[in-house]
């Protein structure tokens, strides 16, 4: 049985003014199974982010290089390897338990705190890092949201909708702000000047972190391509909030984010896979996905209403 | 659970008992407002951030810091970070931000590097840290030409 969804039926009729109503943006109804799927997905990304990090490298930080963020200012220095490893193991175990729906009220926050701690320690090496920021911030509403693990329930309510909506807006604020800061600090010169070419040339200086400098130098050597790349990035960032309002734009937003961050890895060697997964988990049409997956896996088949 | 919720469902699929509690409303508005405050006030309190990602325009000049060691005979050469304990982290993580550290921290950092180099057996009596500007190489493998340099810090007998 398929029930018409409030979001689907009203989107076409919604006026711009209605769509921009902050109460509507934050508190639109959503299905119970979408809330469960997003929480499960975020727990899976937490598990991966915790698993794929070297606490050994972290533990070798000399005290003179230890500059913790305010959150971890109470630490006198980098904790020993054994403590870091224990936090990593507990964090991964808690995240896996949250994915499996075991005591999510406890396991999800434990996994989140483990990543907050280990991510903060990485920042303590002296540079503000954003690799884990969207994931950590998106998880915040789920720390206090209703706990549900039912991937079959189509019941819709504002109560199930607001945590997902807050996570969406968090990501949208992040991308929009990244674009806003570029315009605020550098102006349109960020696109029309030689900025992107020099970003690429700097990234190609040995020892480059990029898997290969061929693409990096190809963009740097072709001014028109560098302008196109810069313009596309700025457009994606500034327009990202539209994906919160217009659900039809969400697949394009996910594809754009994937292209941006895969491109960043190929050209600059900077690793933002956590952003791509977080955006996918939060913006994916889980009702549609679970319907299709339910044809294969009866556990996820909708019960209807 | 599903059976229980099914009874509470309206014909249009929404739950009659699914209103957002007042504290969730306060949290949602407060959280989004907090994110925006950090953007517009340009503040960092990780993981709350102002989202500066490549926001400054890059040019053909690369700015960085370089550390040079001064030997007993007065000879000056670049300090080799490779081989120092955690040398890669010191060079890649700490050195680029040394100018942003408090003055006392900069001096203690310089002293520590000097001590580490001496413990390794280097012929070094002092260190000089320069803020340098170099032309960015265009992928041809040639090192960038030095455009300008300014002594920012010195320690040991180099001071």
Secondary structure (DSSP) of B128-139? EEEEEEEEPP-S
* pLDDT beyond 50 at A222: yes
A133-144 vs A104-123: helix crossing angle, rounded to 10: 150
Name the residue facing B19 among A159, A173, A303 (closest C-beta). A159
Calculated CA dihedral for residues A117, A120, A125, A126, nearest 10 degrees: -160
Distance CA(A72)–CA(A125), nearest Å, equals: 12
Over residues B37-66, mean pLDDT: 93
8 Å CB contact between A63 and B94:
no
* Test mutation, B4, B29, B55, chain A, max A CBs within 10 A: B55
What is residue B109's predicted lDDT score, i.e. its pLDDT? 84
Model confidence band, residue A64 (pLDDT cutoffs 50, 70, 90):
low
A32-51 vs A133-144: helix crossing angle, rounded to 10: 140
Measured from the Cβ of residue A12, the count of other Cβ atoms closer than 10 Å reads 7
Model confidence band, residue A206 (pLDDT cutoffs 50, 70, 90):
confident
Residue A263 burial by Cβ neighbours in a 10 Å radius (0-12, 13-18, 19+):
middle
Give the single-character DSSP code of B8: T
What is the reported pTM?
A: 0.85
For chain A, the helix, strand and coil percentages under 3-state DSSP, each to the nearest 5:
70, 0, 25
Q: Are the beta carbons of A159 and B44 separated by less than 8 Å?
A: no
Distance CA(B79)–CA(B143), nearest Å, equals: 17
H or E segment and range at residue A201: helix A195-204
Measured from the Cβ of residue A188, the count of other Cβ atoms closer than 10 Å reads 12
8 Å CB contact between A124 and A78:
yes
Note the ipTM here: 0.90
* Residue in A with minimal Cα distance to B14: A156
Residues of B with Cβ-Cβ distance to A221 under 8 angstroms: 139
What is residue A188's predicted lDDT score, i.e. its pLDDT? 96
Nearest chain A CA: its distance from B49 CA (Å): 8
Give the single-character DSSP code of B74: S
8 Å CB contact between A189 and A226:
no
Q: Which two tokens stand for residue A93?
A: 């175990």
Give the HSE-up count for residue A121: Cα atoms under 13 Å, Cβ half-sphere: 29
Q: Which of A78, A85, A177, A80 is nearest to A126 (CA)?
A: A78
8 Å CB contact between A71 and A132:
no
Name the residue facing B46 among A69, A140, A145 (closest C-beta). A69
Distance CA(B72)–CA(B83), nearest Å, equals: 21
Name the residue facing A156 among B14, B24, B55 (closest C-beta). B14
What is residue B84's predicted lDDT score, i.e. its pLDDT? 82
Q: Are the beta carbons of A119 and B58 separated by less than 8 Å?
A: no
Residue A148: strand, helix, or coil:
coil
Lookup result for tokens 């003055």: B103
Integer-rounded Cα Rg, in Å, for chain B is 27
Residue B47: asked if its preceding bond is cis (omega within 30°), the reply is yes
Q: Are the beta carbons of B13 and A159 separated by less than 8 Å?
A: no
What is residue A300's predicted lDDT score, i.e. its pLDDT? 63
Residues of A with Cβ-Cβ distance to B51 under 8 angstroms: 130, 174, 177-178, 180-181
* pLDDT beyond 80 at A208: yes
Nearest-5° angle of CA A210, CA A215, CA A216? 60
Give the HSE-up count for residue B139: Cα atoms under 13 Å, Cβ half-sphere: 17
* Residue in A with minimal Cα distance to B89: A61
* Residue in B with minimal Cα distance to A150: B2
pLDDT digits (tens, 9 = 90+) for A127-168: 788 999 999 999 999 999 988 888 888 889 889 999 999 999
Residues of A with Cβ-Cβ distance to B47 under 8 angstroms: 71, 116, 119-120, 132-133, 136-137
pLDDT digits (tens, 9 = 90+) for B63-105: 889 999 999 999 999 999 888 877 777 777 778 878 877 788 7
CA A119 to chain centre: 14
Whole-Å CA distances, A127 to A36, A66, A67, A122, B52: 35, 11, 9, 8, 12
8 Å CB contact between B20 and B26:
no
pLDDT digits (tens, 9 = 90+) for A230-259: 999 999 999 999 999 999 999 999 999 999
Model confidence band, residue A63 (pLDDT cutoffs 50, 70, 90):
confident
Calculated CA dihedral for residues A157, A275, B95, A121, nearest 10 degrees: 50
Distance CA(A268)–CA(B20), nearest Å, equals: 44
Q: Are the beta carbons of B28 and A26 separated by less than 8 Å?
A: yes
Distance CA(B159)–CA(B153), nearest Å, equals: 8
């Amino acid at each position: 049985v398929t029930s018409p969804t409030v979001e689907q039926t009203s989107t076409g009729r919604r006026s711009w003014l209605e769509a921009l109503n902050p109460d509507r943006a934050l508190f639109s109804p959503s299905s119970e199974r979408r809330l469960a799927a997003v929480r499960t997905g975020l727990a899976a990304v937490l598990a991966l982010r915790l698993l794929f990090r070297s606490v050994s490298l972290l533990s070798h930080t000399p005290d003179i290089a230890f500059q913790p963020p305010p959150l971890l200012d109470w630490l006198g220095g980098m904790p020993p390897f054994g403590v870091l490893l224990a936090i990593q193991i507990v964090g991964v175990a808690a995240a896996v338990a949250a994915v499996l729906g075991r005591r999510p009220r406890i396991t999800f926050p434990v996994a989140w705190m483990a990543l907050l701690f280990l991510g903060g320690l990485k920042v303590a090496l002296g540079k503000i890092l954003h690799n884990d920021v969207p994931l950590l911030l998106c998880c915040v509403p789920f720390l206090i949201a209703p706990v549900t693990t039912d991937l079959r329930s189509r019941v819709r309510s504002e109560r199930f909708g607001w945590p997902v909506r807050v996570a969406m807006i968090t990501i949208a604020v992040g991308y929009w702000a990244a674009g806003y800061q570029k315009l605020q600090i550098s102006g349109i010169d960020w696109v029309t000047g030689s900025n992107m070419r020099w970003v690429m040339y700097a990234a190609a200086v040995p020892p480059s972190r990029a898997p290969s400098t061929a693409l990096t130098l190809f963009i740097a050597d072709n001014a028109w391509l560098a302008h196109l790349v810069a313009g596309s990035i700025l457009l994606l960032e500034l327009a990202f909030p539209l994906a919160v309002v217009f659900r039809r734009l969400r697949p394009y937003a996910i594809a754009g984010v994937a292209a941006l961050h895969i491109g960043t890895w190929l050209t600059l060697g900077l690793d933002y896979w956590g952003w791509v997964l977080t955006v996918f988990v939060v913006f994916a049409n889980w009702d549609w996905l679970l319907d299709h997956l339910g044809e294969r896996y009866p556990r996820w088949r909708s019960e209807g209403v | 659970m599903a059976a229980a919720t099914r009874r509470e469902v309206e014909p249009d699929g929404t739950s009659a008992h699914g209103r957002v509690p007042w504290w969730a409303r306060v949290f949602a508005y407060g959280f989004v407002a907090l994110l925006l405050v950090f953007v517009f006030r340009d503040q960092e309190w990780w993981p709350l951030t102002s989202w500066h990602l490549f926001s400054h325009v890059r040019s053909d000049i690369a700015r960085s810091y370089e550390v040079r060691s001064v030997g007993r005979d007065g000879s000056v050469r670049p300090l080799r970070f490779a081989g120092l304990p955690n040398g890669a982290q010191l060079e890649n993580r700490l050195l680029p931000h040394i100018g942003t550290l408090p003055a006392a921290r900069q001096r203690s950092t310089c002293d520590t590097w000097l001590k580490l180099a001496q413990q390794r057996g280097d012929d070094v009596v002092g260190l000089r840290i320069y803020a340098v500007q170099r032309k960015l190489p265009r992928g041809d493998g040639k090192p960038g030409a030095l455009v300008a340099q300014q002594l920012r810090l010195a320690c040991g007998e180099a001071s």
